[in-house]
Structure 1
Amino acid sequence: MNSFFALLDSIPEDSIAITVYLLGSFILLWSWYAIAKRLPKPIGAITWIIGFAILLTPTVSEGNNASIAPAIFGLLFGILTKENSLVWSNASLILFVIGLGLVVGYLYSKYSLNKTKFVVTKNSSPL
């Protein structure tokens, strides 16, 4: 057990925190996918995109030791400290990721619909 703790001591704290955060987000989004695929198609996909944007939209934290952080933490910090510029900048980042996800999802659904039509018409035999 001591060798395990010695190994953890040799890894920087920032790397451990980012790894745990990304792994936790992956597990949460994977679990939500299992629920969302049972919902009607657009609602399940939209809720997954919103969850993805809330969890994984990056921003840069402020202060002496500024580093990358999730935008939801900046948004909550801005709400608590009543800094409107911080709230709007982080909310706009999250909304941008949601909008981008919705556009990509729409284009993918149109692509897969047309691909299915092409396969059906190509393989159908003439009467």
Structure 2
Amino acid sequence: MPNLFAFLDTIPEYYLAIAVYLGGSLFVLWLWYFIARALPRPIGGMSWILLFALLLSPTITEGTNAKIAPAIVGLMFGFLTDEKHLIWSNLVPILFVAALGFFLGYLWNKYQEYREPTTE
């Protein structure tokens, strides 16, 4: 029987890991969307934005083969090793993505209010 996944040997490991990570994150966010719809209106959207920020905030790894990595991994590693610099350098991108998401959500909410006709 031929190897069904032999084509994966031609793809570099880093790109394969990024593709699996992004696909898994999008799958988790899609599932959380259905949970967030059942939550009260501001809490559901805010929880989705926080999960998005935790899963998809990027950072740069250190070392000779520095690559883009999720900030949550560096944050957890910083907590485990108790390195304050590592904690803050990975927390800042997560907080930035969350703040940007909350700002865009606020603008979207204002747009929706403006677009809906008032009933008086």
Q: Same fold (TM over 0.5)?
A: yes
Aligned to 1:28: 28
Is the radius of gyration larger for structure 1 or structure 2?
1
- For the residues of structure 2 that align with 1:78 and 1:2, how far apart are their CA atoms? 44
In the alignment, the residues of structure 2 paired with residue 35 and residue 21 of structure 1 have an alpha-carbon distance, to the nearest angstrom, of 21
Superposition misfits of 4+ residues, deviation over 2 angstroms: 1-6
Give the % identical residues.
Answer: 55
TM-score, normalised relative to structure 1: 0.88
CA distance in 2, matches of 1:12, 1:81: 30
Of structures 1 and 2, the one with the larger relative CO (CA 8 A, separation 6+) is 2
Aligned-partner Cα distance in 2 for 1:82–1:62: 17
Aligned to 1:7: 7
CA distance in 1, matches of 2:61, 2:2: 34
- The number of residue pairs the alignment matches comes to 119
Post-superposition CA distance 1:3-49 (Å, at most 9, x none): 43321111111111111100000000000000101111100000000
The one-letter code matched in structure 1 to 2:69 is A
Question: What corresponds to 2:98 in structure 1?
Answer: 98
RMSD, aligned α-carbons = 1.4
Unaligned residue ranges in structure 2 (runs of 5+): none
Per-residue deviation at 1:83?
A: 1.3
Aligned residue for 2:81? Answer: 81
Distance 1:49 1:71 in 2: 15
CA distance in 1: counterparts of 2:88 and 2:10, whole angstroms: 38
Question: Which sections of structure 1, spanning at least 5 residues, go unmatched?
Answer: 122-127
- Name the SS for the 2:38 alignment partner: coil
The TM-score normalised by the length of structure 2 is 0.93
Residues 65 and 2 (structure 1 numbering): CA distance in 2 closer, same or farther, change over 3 Å?
farther
